[in-house]
Amino acid sequence: MVIAHAVGERKQYVADRIIEVTKKRLSSTPLFVSDGLKFYTGALLKHYGHEVSFSPTGNRGRPRMPTIIPNPDLNYAQVIKHRKNGHLCSVEKRVVFGNGIEKKEISTSLMERQNLTFRQDNNRISRKTIGFSKKLNWLDKQMFLYFGNFNFCRGHGSLKHRDNNGIMRKNAPLKEYGLIDHNWTLKELLTFPYYITSTN
């Protein structure tokens, strides 16, 4: 299931946006795993951290500035691929925040496979495509539609089960989690009467 997305360049404001939306949609703090992009660390501290002030020491000089530290339940790790002359040399797994994170839990392979699925399914984000969006706003709208179909409508091969008649069925992610009672049609997705509610 895709919880959130943000469209834009690999910059701080995009990392801030994806972490902000993710936090609003989850009731607990998950294990975050990313590549070595520096912006995720700042975004996680912004949304899953708190400020700590230091008492005056009475010594000469400037007082220590307040700093932001991660909340105790924040677990964040990075998978950093080191390359030389375009070839992969080694893969480093680094724990940035948190304790008790096992090395086998630190992986971006699922996300990399997911990205491949997205690029194969969606011509707007394929590499070297002529079907790209000319405006970021329209790409964002199209991605909302794509992920809506992905979560609500599309049956996934990894979510197969047999129904009461013994027929093999593929669940959509939200049906697998029990949030809908059947895989929606695209018409149901586009005509569902939703209401805007506060998430604060």
Give per-residue pLDDT as tens, 144-187: 999 999 999 999 988 998 888 889 999 999 999 999 999 999 99
Encoding tokens for residue 7? 């469209």
Q: Taking a C-beta distance cutoff of 8 angstroms, is the pair 142, 7 a contact?
A: no
The overall average pLDDT reported for the chain is 90
Give the pLDDT band (50/70/90) at residue 73: very high
Parallel, antiparallel or unpaired: strands 87-97 and 75-84: antiparallel
Q: Find out whether 32 and 23 touch, Cβ atoms under 8 Å.
A: no
For residue 122, pLDDT over 70 is answered with yes
Measured CA to CA in angstroms, residue 81 lies from 90, 114, 128, 156 at distances of 6, 18, 24, 29
Which residues are CB-neighbours of 50 under 8 A, at least 6 positions away?
68, 69, 71
| 0.85 exceeded by pTM | no
Instruction: Give the residue from 137, 176, 180, 182 showing the smallest Cα distance to 158.
Output: 176
pLDDT at 199 over 70: no
pLDDT of residue 145: 94
Element (H, E) at 10: none
